[in-house]
Structure 1
């Protein structure tokens, strides 16, 4: 692993555990096993390191989940969106903990909205396609549940959370007739 990668991993973990304000560049460098000078050589400042982590994290997530956005079957799209928090937390737990802890920062909100906006629109269309009574409200309710589920998956180790996705699929797809 390169020094750059070690700094990234250490920063992700520490920002996720402690938050941005409670994490110093010295602590990140020590945790990564590099000098603070090397951290500054790569990233210039803690703020630029944080910005880099947010941008790269969302870039990785969008690339890894691009297939969701191209799904043509509306029922499969709905299932994929319900599965998304499980996949995201499993694949990138440190990134999502950091993102959750720093959600009030405008940069984080900007990238989160960029990520969610197409999902919102596609999900709404999928609910229209399967004949949901109120596709807009159904979408908003499901996304609210998914956001809560995602946050709980980050911190809770309740076995019922794993079963909740299957329950959501049954609930949301039972209401809608298969076309």
Structure 2
């Protein structure tokens, strides 16, 4: 593993555990086993390192989940969206802990919105195709439930959380009419 990668992984872990404000560049460097000077050589500042981690994290996540955006079957789209928090937390737990801890930062909100905006639009369209009475409200309600599930999956290791996704699928997909 390169020094650059060690710094990235260590910073993600520490920002996720301690938060941005409670993590110094010295702590990141020491934990990564590199000098603080090397950290600054690569990233210039703690703020630049944080920006890099957020941008790269969302880039990885968008690439890994592109298939959702191409899904044409409205029921499959809804199911894949419900599965998303399980996949995201499993694949990138440290990144999502940083998202949770630092969500008040405009940079984090900006990238999160960019990630969620197409999903929001596609869900509304799916609920329209399925003939639901209020596609906007169905989308909003489902996304709020998914966000709550995502946050709980980050910190809770309760087996019942694994069943919540199936319950949501039963509630949001199986009770809906076939596409028009």
TM-score, normalisation: structure 1: 0.99
What CA distance in whole angstroms lies between the structure 2 residues aligned with 1:157 and 1:178? Answer: 35
Matched, 1:176 2:176: yes
Query: Any gaps of 5 or more consecutive residues in structure 2?
Result: none
Per-residue deviation, 1:175:
2.7
Counterpart of 1:49 in structure 2 is: 49
Question: Which residue of the partner structure matches residue 110 of structure 2?
Answer: 110
Deviations 1:88-137 (A, max 9, x none): 00000000001110000000000000000000000000011111111000
3-state DSSP class of the match of 1:144? helix
Large movers: runs of 4+ above 2 Å = none
CA distance in 2, matches of 1:97, 1:132: 34
Query: Using the alignment, how far apart are the partners of 1:102 and 1:43 within structure 2?
Result: 19
- 1:96 aligns to what? 96
Q: Which residue of 1 aligns with 2:138?
A: 138
Distance in 2 between residues matched to 1:132 and 1:30, nearest whole Å: 55
Q: 1:102, 1:108 within 8 Å by CA — same for their partners in 2?
A: yes
- 1:74 maps to which residue? 74
Tell me if structure 2 keeps the 8 A contact 1:132–1:175: no
> What is the match of residue 125 of structure 2?
125
Q: What does the per-residue CA deviation read over 1:14-70, in whole Å, with 9 as the maximum and x for residues that have no partner?
A: 000000000000000011000000000000000000000000000000000001000
Q: Which residue of 2 aligns with 1:84?
A: 84
Q: Unpaired runs of 5+ in structure 1?
A: none
Q: How far 1:174 sits from its partner (Å)?
A: 2.7
Question: Using the alignment, how far apart are the partners of 2:117 and 2:174 within structure 1?
Answer: 25
- Cα distance in 1 between the residues matched to 2:175 and 2:41: 56
Superposed CA RMSD in Å reads 0.6
> Under a length normalisation based on structure 2, what TM-score does the superposition of the two structures give?
0.98
Deviation of the 1:155 alpha carbon: 0.3
Equivalent-residue separation in structure 1 for 2:158 and 2:103 (angstroms): 23
Give the structure 2 partner of residue 37 of structure 1: 37
